[in-house]
Chains A and B, each alone.
Chain A
Amino acid sequence: MKKSNLNNGTHYINPYLGGVLMGLLMIVTIFISGRELGISGAVKDTVVEAAHIISPTAAKAHPYYGQYIKEGRSPMDSWLVFEVLGVFIGAFLSGIIFKRVRKPFVEHGPNITSRRRLLVALIGGILWGFGTRLGRGCTSGAALSGSSTFSFGGVMVMLLIFASAYLFAWLFRKLWT
């Protein structure tokens, strides 16, 4: 049997404890800001900013980018961009504390090579980027936060993400098991 290069025996916190703390964090977030956790919106803001820097007039006239460009304010001057900055810091702190920060490497299943893993990761990322724009958010902004605030669309997106992944799991089992 081939070996994967997983960092075995690493310590994670109890998932139910993690879930309770994440639920409380969502309540605090809504109490302070009236809005919710999210990730993909910040990537969108960054893409809008890039388009705006490359060609301000074309970006303003663009039917998608244009709606996010306000006079005298950078598209990246957004709550989500600041929050995602925090996500990087927080994850790094956890990685340091639990000794998971390593020299750059590719994590992959036992039956695929690093190169193949990188290729499917790229394809997966592209699908996610496109999907989040149609779905009005990702697992954080639409599924997690949307469901928690009783949004109909949020619950729908959450169920569809999981249902669709389960539906296609058999097809892509070689990537993971």
Chain B
Amino acid sequence: MGPLFPNGLISGDWNLVFAVLIGIAFGFLLEASGFSSSRNLAGVFYGYNFVVLRVFFTAVIVAMVGLLYFNYFGWLDLSKIFILPTFLPSMIVGGVVMGIGFIIGGFCPGTSFTAIVIGKLDALVFAVGLFIGIFFFAEVFPYIEGFYYKGNLGNATLTDVTGISAPWWAFGFTVIALVAFWVSWLIEKKVRKRIKDYKF
């Protein structure tokens, strides 16, 4: 049955209507969870607010397990969904650069958008930076094109690379997430005592 659009069960126009509705739900959940505040987001790196870790890892394990069930029941053909491709060296550098951007800027792209609409000017400036960064990337692209396409593993999954099956990965992530929730809760309790200007 699924995925509906790739299987031709809904038209391209309907797919875009769903895109807007899905976006509305995504934006709502991000804002309602507290991701529209850079100080909430940065808290995960200083131990005073682990909301990012909680929302992020809960979402990942729910989606992983859910997708496996959907596949098992035959509702969703996982061979027809998009798997993010892997280009080793460029994505390693990209991840590191984004991490530095995160600790300096306090947002990631999606969270900055949710902060703009509730009136945060720092988020607006961050978003302007996004456009500049992408424009700059396109300008230097001719010089780094070789690097950009290097180490192409195609649409590699964890199973392709490690030989360990997807259910085991889902199980492993779930265990790690539960331990992380517990440990981060302990850390947060301690660190929050030192922070006085911030009510939780």
Query: Which residues of A pack against B, CB within 8 Å?
Result: 1-4, 6, 8-9, 12-13, 15-16, 18-37, 39-40, 43-44, 46-47, 51, 62-65, 79-80, 82-95, 97-98, 100-110, 117-118, 120-169, 171-173, 175-177
Which of these, A100, A120, A132, A161, contacts B99 with CB under 8 Å? A161
A16/B58 contact (C-beta < 8 A), A25-B25, A86-B22, A153-B86 known: yes
Number of inter-chain CB pairs below 8 Å: 514
Question: A152 touching B122 by the CB < 8 A rule?
Answer: no
SS class of chain A's interface: helix, strand, loop or mixed?
Answer: helix
A83→B57 CA distance, assembly (Å): 22
**Which residue of the partner chain B has the closest CB to A88?**
B117
How many residues of chain B are within 8 Å of chain A by beta carbon?
129
In the complex, which residues of chain A have a beta carbon less than 8 angstroms from the beta carbon of B76? 30-31
Residues of B within 8 A of A136 (CB): 84-85, 87, 91, 94
Main secondary structure of the interface of B (DSSP, over half): helix
Cα distance A110–B155 when bound, in Å?
44
Q: Residues of B with Cβ closer than 8 Å to A?
A: 2-7, 10, 15-16, 18-34, 36-39, 42-43, 45-46, 48, 51, 54-64, 66-67, 70, 75-76, 80-87, 90-138, 141-142, 145, 148, 153, 155-161, 166, 169, 173, 195-199
